[in-house]
Amino acid sequence: MKSQFQPDKNGYYGQFGGAFIPELLYPNVKELEDNYIQIIESDEFQNEYKSLLKDYVGRPSPLYLAKRLSEKYGAFIYLKREDLNHTGAHKVNNTIGQILIAKKLGKTKIIAETGAGQHGVATATVCALMGLECTVFMGEKDIERQAPNVARMKMLGAKVVPALSGSKTLKDATNEAIRYWIQHPETFYLIGSVVGPHPYPDMVARLQAVISEEIKWQLKEKTGKENPDTIIACVGGGSNAAGAFYHYMDNEEVELIAVEASGLGVNSGESAATSQLGEVGIIHGSKTILMQDEYGQIVEPYSISAGLDYPGVGPLHAYLFDSKRANFMDATDTEALTAAYELTKIEGIIPALESAHALAVLSKIKFTKDQVVVVNLSGRGDKDLETYIKHLED
Amino acid sequence: MNSIKELFQQKDKNLLSIYFTCGYPKLDDTTKVITALEKSGVDFIEVGLPYSDPLADGPTIQDSSQKALENGINLDLVFEQLMTIKETNKTPLVLMGYLNQMLKYGEDKFCQKVVDCGIDTLILPDLPMVEFENHYQELFDKYGLTNVFLITPHTSEERIKKIDEYSKAFIYVVASASITGAKGEISNKQVAYFERIKAMNLKSNLIVGFGISDKQTFNTACNYANGAIIGSAFIKNLGKNGVASIDGFIKPIIS
């Protein structure tokens, strides 16, 4: 049976999705659309993808029972350790997959956008691995606040192009990447999240689905249980959440919690809580929920976390929200920082600021004592040390 | 009949169209620019609705859009401005914007306002053909509006034929596989592409856009099409020299 959370032939999840692209991009997107499923499902792809995930990325990533965290919140809290992946986050699951697809399609030049720099690093890494040319677009503001990742990309041989327009963050980096793609249709655009025109949201979700595939057997092995009661993941564009939810979306018994960044507060005017502040709109080729003004101009979002300040959300998540399949919560900058310090102090794990948003809702939920909760720890906090140190002093 | 189609019946060669951004360089320049363009002898005008995230536009037009938005332009104001010249302006206008602007404004309300302003032709670069067929064809028909489709050097022959069927005003021939921007020349590759399109003997009129900046590129484009659109080069001049410089920009191109 086909899942209701798979897009239809035009790339729609309910009313969300589609491919709203200028004619200039039609051939590129069409080529990908015609080939991606066939490539992903081929033995050749699966063998290479799985082998790289195992030996290069270090998968399976552990499912770790965080005992002291569990004690504190009165539930069984497991952390899916995507932070232990090579390059430090879940992003590499997707870039390994897409680089293999790009190679199969005969592409030699890769472009990507990045917010926190995790996707940029993961893309630069696989380009180095495959010997392909790599250009990464990154908002000027993000280049400043994520300096270590910029250095890593450069060391890996990527060209980092600052996006100088608009808010100079992820949205603008994506605009610049799409513009460059229009001018250079021979390039392969390696999108980092479940956003963009169809088939990107579905393709990226399929490549991140390895997260929930592993959770399934790991949980069974550890607890004998088929499913967790609750899965929690942070959502900017939504790729780590899509991966963590993927194999559970059709199973209504599993509670899915998506956590958005509410910055200085949902209604402060400095927020990225798209589901609460947004309305139906089109961004980066996809119809979704979008933060915009009364005339459809896209509003500049804010979050302390460079990976979550996206004014839209992937169309799958818009559908999960609209259909009430997932429960959307939010965490402010301060709540995320508090949660990051807490995890560091009681579990010895420094999480990425993005993942800290997912951890931050633990204190807002009433758990039953047997409840099995999986928090997707999407990345490690090395890149955020400067921010953490600054707030340590405060 | 569509106003641009009607124009083609009177004149089918060397048509000059100019793209400009509403509310730029000053908030109340919209109507001044249109009036000056009409006076200078431009055949039809592309009225650009400033958008925060104009994916299909180059940096010049994006900058002008950002400036116009900072000036305080919005859709209601644009419609108000256009209403004031409805009776006096005789040059056909084409409205160019992004789909999200129409979506958020309300599709029916948007279409009605466009019609009220005496406009019957739209260019929405991020409205793909399949979405047009599934969601918008009926809506536009209801209001007597026509959508202009773009073709590029990479558009397949089969797709061009389909676009030809849907085109009631003209086909926008994108000169190069690049975003808008004044490049200063037309390459042999582009000429080969123009020739390929010309040889298809399409029923629709063809207007070339993207990369047209001066008399030379305009004339080359007109050898293969019914006319051409100048955007970025015009905006650059307008930003630098203001509305008073419009006649001086246009005259050398059409003389």
Contact B150 A23 (CB under 8 A): yes
**pLDDT value of position B189:** 82
**pLDDT value of position A393:** 64
Angle at A117 between CA A358 and CA A355, to 5 degrees: 10
Task: Flag the least confident range among A30-44, A173-187, A359-373.
Answer: A173-187
Residue A326 binned pLDDT confidence (cut-offs 50, 70, 90):
very high
**pLDDT value of position A182:** 87
- In angstroms, the CA B33 to CA B24 distance is 9
A165 is catalytic: no
3-class state of residue B215 by DSSP: helix
**pLDDT value of position A14:** 97
Structure tokens at B228: 């051409």
Q: Please, are residues B18 and B24 in contact by the beta-carbon 8 Å criterion?
A: no
Contact A182 B179 (CB under 8 A): yes
Rg, C-alpha atoms of chain B: 17
Burial of B179 (0-12, 13-18, 19+ CB in 10 A): buried
**pLDDT value of position B181:** 53
Q: Please, are residues B15 and B227 in contact by the beta-carbon 8 Å criterion?
A: yes
- In angstroms, the CA A203 to CA A208 distance is 9
**pLDDT value of position A394:** 62
Q: B66 CA to chain A: closest CA distance, Å?
A: 8
State chain A's mean pLDDT as an integer.
96
3-class state of residue B165 by DSSP: helix
- Alpha carbon of A194 to those of A336, B33, B157: distances in Å? 23, 42, 32
Contact A24 B179 (CB under 8 A): yes
pLDDT in tens, A101-113: 999 999 999 999 9
Q: Please, are residues B78 and B51 in contact by the beta-carbon 8 Å criterion?
A: no
Burial of A229 (0-12, 13-18, 19+ CB in 10 A): middle
Cite the beta strand spans of chain A per DSSP E. 12-13, 16-17, 63-65, 76-81, 109-114, 133-139, 159-163, 188-189, 230-234, 255-263, 279-283, 286-290, 326-332, 372-377
- ipTM attached to this prediction: 0.93
- In angstroms, the CA A277 to CA B200 distance is 49
**pLDDT value of position A169:** 86
**pLDDT value of position B191:** 84
Q: Please, are residues A358 and A69 in contact by the beta-carbon 8 Å criterion?
A: no
Tell me: pLDDT of A289 over 60. yes
pLDDT in tens, A60-73: 999 999 999 999 99
**pLDDT value of position A113:** 97
Mean pLDDT, rounded, for A247-251 = 97
**pLDDT value of position B183:** 56
A91 is catalytic: yes
According to DSSP, residue A268 is labeled S
Contact B126 A297 (CB under 8 A): no
- In angstroms, the CA A26 to CA A23 distance is 5
Structure tokens at A37: 């499923």
Q: Please, are residues A294 and A363 in contact by the beta-carbon 8 Å criterion?
A: no
**pLDDT value of position A1:** 53
3-class state of residue B181 by DSSP: coil
Q: B56 CA to chain A: closest CA distance, Å?
A: 7
CA of B72: which chain A residue's CA is closest?
A295
Q: Which residues of A touch B150 (CB under 8 A)?
A: 22-24
- In angstroms, the CA A309 to CA A116 distance is 9
Q: Please, are residues B23 and B68 in contact by the beta-carbon 8 Å criterion?
A: yes
Helix or strand holding residue B6 (H, E): helix B3-10
Mean pLDDT, rounded, for A194-216 = 98
**pLDDT value of position A59:** 98
CA of B78: which chain A residue's CA is closest?
A295
Ranges under pLDDT 50 in chain B: 179
- Strands across the sheet with B146-147, in order? B146-147, B121-123, B93-96, B44-48, B15-21, B227-230, B206-209, B171-174, B150-151
- Considering only the beta carbons, identify the residue of A185, A284, A295 that sits closest to B104: A295
Helix or strand holding residue B93 (H, E): strand B93-96
Q: Is the pTM of this model over 0.90?
A: yes
Tell me: pLDDT of A313 over 80. yes
Q: Please, are residues A86 and A118 in contact by the beta-carbon 8 Å criterion?
A: no
- Strands A63-65 and A76-81, bridge-based pairing: antiparallel
Q: Which residues of B touch A175 (CB under 8 A)?
A: 53, 55
Tell me: pLDDT of A94 over 80. yes
According to DSSP, residue B205 is labeled -
**pLDDT value of position A183:** 85
Q: Please, are residues A138 and A162 in contact by the beta-carbon 8 Å criterion?
A: yes
pLDDT above 90 as % of chain B: 87
Contact B154 A24 (CB under 8 A): yes
Contact A22 B56 (CB under 8 A): yes
Q: Which residues of A touch B104 (CB under 8 A)?
A: 279, 281, 292, 294-296
Residue A145 binned pLDDT confidence (cut-offs 50, 70, 90):
confident
First to last CA, chain B: 30
Mean pLDDT, rounded, for A80-100 = 98
Task: Write down the catalytic residue from A33, A82, A113, A214.
Answer: A113
**pLDDT value of position B84:** 98
